[in-house]
Amino acid sequence: MAKSKKTVFFCKECGYESSKWLGQCPGCKEVGTFVEEPMGAKTNNNIRRGLINNKPVTINQVTADDEERITTGFGELDRVLGGGVVPGGLILVGGDPGIGKSTLLLQVCRNMSNNGKKILYISGEESLKQIKLRANRMGQFSDNLSLLSETSLDIIESVILETKPDVVVIDSIQTMLREDIGSAPGSVSQVRESTNFLMQLAKGNTIPIFIVGHVTKEGVVAGPRVLEHMVDTVLYFEGDRHAAYRIIRGVKNRFGSTNEIGVFEMSSEGLREVLNPSEFMLDGRPEDASGSVVACLMEGTRPILVEIQALISHTNFGMPRRTAVGTDYNRVNLLMAVIEKRIGVQMCDYDAYVNIAGGMKINEPALDLALVMALISSFKNRVIDPKTIVFGEVGLAGEVRAVSQADKRVQEAKKLGFTTCIMPAVSKKNLTEITGINIIGVNNIKEAEELI
């Protein structure tokens, strides 16, 4: 009788390994995440790639200069990466299907190849002709860009070691295959081992590697959660694929800040940078409409102005409806309770709809005061001056708390032509003198209501 092949159970979320099936993962405490996969033979890849150094060195003997970074040709993407691509870095790019991940990376390859860098674009999903058809929309490409349609990592390793490119793109990690792993491509063990394989290849040869990762319906990268822990940088491509703009956000970055975002606009020729996102987000604002307020938010080091829209209407049912698009639903309910308690404006019999225009998703506390003023403006049907900008955090006692980087917020509002700024009184005291804009400090939401 043939000997049965050994199998092992993996957690899809964190990659925890077990010899038997478990209902709850001991690692991440998730329920029903264990899957069964065949056990592959283990090989010592570290010795083969020469990653084991004979002697350790002191930290002062290691040199690392910012000039070593490779520019992508997109200022927005370079900002999110912390100034460019670090040699030997492993960068994971995730996003919904059709959002533009492959388009962005192909444009990055074009920019870097035109700057004299040797690029290798490896696709496991498209043929070479399909990639060429997509590239024809973007214009002319340099001969420094090479294409390869392959899924076997052993073949990919030999090609990389032979050609020695400056940058490698893998599209996508869910299609890559290790021959010594018995499971199918895209499985937990294949994704984990393939990423580990590419990580050793990148570090051992100081070649930066971009990895495209598919996402699940929950919006996280498909595969084990350990995938995000192994890479150096995790970028998420956000936005509605039917809308004109896209946002790339860094959620993990060992070489830079994780609060930066880059804004792009989708066109027939590919993605274009949006150098002034505030002006882009405020384009098409309604005139003389109640419930519309402009707020200034900080995304990393960049101030961005967005329009907050609120609609209050009398409910026809026993329980009023609450809807929030682009912000936290529970936060809207909390602020409405503060309005009723501290100002006496009764909204318990009214439906409330809140929308962040442009499709932005924001959870910054500085949005609170703008939400409060938008809700009151719609309830009283009074129009707020369109040249007024609002920001500040609101507490349960109705007080308006200070927010960070108030100077940058006011300067951005002044640059875009706003004449009035309503902000926390505490932040106004610490504000440097700024001319050309009327700054009003408020201590609580009662004072803000009197301004409407």
Average pLDDT of the chain?
A: 87
CB 342, CB 446: distance < 8 Å: yes
CA distance 366 to 35: 43
Instruction: Say whether 359 counts as a known binding-site residue.
Output: no
What is 68-275's CATH number? 3.40.50.300
DSSP string over 301-361: TEEEEEEEEEEEEE-SSSS--EEEESS-HHHHHHHHHHHHHHT----TTEEEEEEETTS--
pLDDT digits (tens, 9 = 90+) for 391-450: 999 999 999 999 999 999 999 999 889 999 999 999 998 888 888 899 999 999 999 999
Instruction: Say whether 99 counts as a known binding-site residue.
Output: yes
Domain assignments of the chain as residue spans, ordered by start: 1-39, 68-275, 282-450
The Cβ of residue 384 has, within 10 Å, a number of other Cβ atoms equal to: 22
CB 401, CB 377: distance < 8 Å: no
Instruction: Say whether 100 counts as a known binding-site residue.
Output: yes
pLDDT digits (tens, 9 = 90+) for 12-69: 777 778 888 888 988 778 888 888 877 655 544 544 444 445 678 898 887 766 557 8
pLDDT digits (tens, 9 = 90+) for 213-237: 887 666 666 566 778 888 999 999 8
**Is residue 124 within a helix (H) or strand (E), and if so which, with residue range?**
none
Q: What angle do CA 430, 424, 79 make, to 5 degrees?
A: 75
Across the range 284-309, mean pLDDT stands at: 88
| Residue type at position 145 | L
Instruction: Say whether 97 counts as a known binding-site residue.
Output: yes
For the domain made up of 282-450, give the CATH fold: Ribosomal Protein S5; domain 2 (3.30.230)
CA 161 to the chain's CA centroid: 32
